[in-house]
Copies of this chain bind each other. A is one copy, B any other.
Amino acid sequence: MTGFYSEHAKVWVSVDCIVFGFEEDKLKVLIGKRKMDPGRGEWSLYGGFVGAEESLEEAADRVLSELTGLKKLYMKQVGAYGAIDRDPGERVISVAYCALINVRDYDDSLREQHSLEWVDVKDLPHLYSDHNLMVTNAIAQLRRRIRTEPLSFNLLPVLFTLTQLQHVYEAVLGTEIDKRNFRKRIKEIDYIEKTELIDKKTSKRGAALYRFNKKAFAEDPTFKL
């Protein structure tokens, strides 16, 4: 410490995670009731303070793995929120991160331990502080990116059917998509590979299972859907 900036004020910085999951053909967010003051009992995103010895990304990773037990999730910064009175307790600047997880990878007992709930984004309650704004911005970002980046696979199991994939796009974009047009476009994308496996859970006839080939995508990282 050399004291370059000692005349300036320091503030608390936190990270808040908007964790999206896909369940029952709906886009959902993981929220819980706050267990601490201020705001005890209010619905809230899950977050944590940034330590002196960790970067913003590390803090977000830490919070996410506390929350989900999962590592190496898709994660993207949404933005910094710095209104003076955004936190009812003290002055805290928060950086929001959006994460996408496959609900089936997620240990449900961990969810219950933290008393978290998957809530449909269309049906969000009032959240603590400016968390509703964060979620709104995260959804807007998700909608923009899902057309040009292979995000959707993060919300699905490794093997998925085209109907499932289509439902992800419909849930995120909030629109209906024509099945034939959708499948036509998929066919032209090399790194969405059809496997020999058949899923019989959702239909009597059975649906072909597909897989996202990361290596093939890395070779030609263009995405357009």
* Contact of A79 with B77 at beta-carbon distance under 8 Å, contacts A49-B8, A89-B4 already known: yes
Contact present for A80 and B83 (CB under 8 Å)? no
Q: How many copies of this chain does one complex carry?
A: 2
Query: How far apart sit A83 and B54, CA to CA, in the bound complex (Å)?
Result: 8
By the criterion CB–CB under 8 Å, are B2 and A12 in contact? no
Interface size on A, residues (CB 8 A): 36
**A90-B56 in contact given A11-B11, A50-B11, A79-B77 (Cβ < 8 Å):** no
A82 to B51, CA, bound (A): 11
Q: Give the distance in Å from the alpha carbon of A53 to the alpha carbon of B91 in the complex.
A: 9
* Most chain B CB inside 10 Å of its own CB: which residue of A5, A37, A79: A5
Query: Closest CB of chain B to A56's CB: distance in Å?
Result: 3
Q: Which residues of chain B have C-beta atoms less than 8 A from A13's C-beta?
A: 10-11, 13, 82, 93
The 8 A CB mask of A76-102 against B (1 = contact, 0 = none) is 010111111000011111010000000
Given A2-B89, A90-B4, A95-B80: A11 in contact with B56 (beta carbons within 8 A)? no
Q: Is A1 an interface residue (CB 8 A)?
A: yes
Which residues of chain B come closer than 8 Å to A54, judged between CB atoms? 84
Q: Which residues of A contact B (CB under 8 A)?
A: 1-2, 4-5, 8-13, 36-38, 49-57, 59, 77, 79-84, 89-93, 95
Q: Which of B11, B36, B80, B83 contacts A52 (CB 8 A)?
A: B11
Which chain B residue lies CB-closest to A53? B84
Q: State A2–B89 Cα separation when bound (angstroms).
A: 7
A50 contacts B84, CB within 8 Å? no
Known: A10-B12, A10-B13, A77-B79. 15 other contacts (CB 8 A): A1-B90, A2-B89, A2-B90, A5-B49, A5-B89, A5-B90, A8-B51, A9-B49, A10-B10, A55-B82, A55-B83, A56-B80, A56-B93, A57-B82, A79-B79
